[in-house]
Amino acid sequence: MPNPISREEKQKLLEEIKESLKNRGFKTTEARQKLISYLIDYGRHFEIEDLVVWIRERCRDYKNCPSRPTVYRTVKLLEELGYVKPVLKQGNRTVYEFLPVKGEHYHLLCLSCGKLVEFEAPQIGDMVKGIAQREGFKYLHHHLEVCGICPECLQKEERKEN
Ligand SMILES: [Zn+2]
Ligand SMILES: [Zn+2]
């Protein structure tokens, strides 16, 4: 669920990320800033190669477009800074999430095609926090992945059987 954020929020977020890059001694080149801006616009799960293609389709000003190595390096940096988190590792495939534009949500994973579907369920969060409290835990975070077969793959399987 991409959370569309306002222009002001986007600007604030860009500044904040720029600051934390600077504070850690990393360069904030124009290409890097552009990449972060694209990442905010993208707003959903991404695999780095998909992001590279998506950016290439949009970036008109050829000079300062983030190159593939810039995308890879910057995503790694953002991961170190806690803005990006790998949510799925499957073989060679890593799916990342850009955290600042997301609310608390969960994933349904299709074990046949690898599709990842997001859903929100605040009641789960409340329940998990309640359990942690009951057990005397200070709550930090939780992770839930529901595995199954997506409707498209189910249909394909049915067609094969008939
Ligand atoms: Zn599937
Ligand atoms: Zn997600």
Over residues 128-136, mean pLDDT: 96
Q: Which ligand is nearest to the CA of 147?
A: 1
Q: How far is the CA of 111 from the centre of ligand 1 (A)?
A: 7
Q: Is the pLDDT of residue 76 over 90?
A: yes
User: Going from the N-terminus, what domains does the chain have, and what CATH number goes with each?
Assistant: 1-102 (1.10.10.10), 104-162 (3.30.1490.190)
Q: How far is the CA of 111 from the centre of ligand 2 (A)?
A: 16
Of 112, 121, 119, the C-alpha closest to 151 is 112
Q: How far is the CA of 126 from the centre of ligand 2 (A)?
A: 18
pLDDT above 90: percentage of residues in the chain: 54
| pLDDT tens column, 3-56 | 567 889 889 999 999 999 999 999 889 999 999 999 988 877 899 999 999 999
Of 81, 72, 14, the C-alpha closest to 47 is 72
Q: Is the pLDDT of residue 103 over 90?
A: no
Residues 6+ apart with CB under 8 A from 128: 139, 142
pLDDT, position 1: 45
Q: How far is the CA of 107 from the centre of ligand 2 (A)?
A: 6
Over residues 131-156, mean pLDDT: 93
Over residues 59-74, mean pLDDT: 88
Q: Give the amino acid at 70.
A: T
pLDDT, position 3: 54
pLDDT, position 79: 93
Mean pLDDT for all residues in the chain: 89
Q: Which ligand is nearest to the CA of 88?
A: 2
Q: How far is the CA of 151 from the centre of ligand 1 (A)?
A: 7
Q: How far apart are CA 75 and CA 67, in angstroms?
A: 12
Which helix (H) or strand (E) segment holds residue 145: the answer is strand 145-148
Q: Is the pLDDT of residue 153 over 80?
A: yes
Q: Is the pLDDT of residue 113 over 50?
A: yes
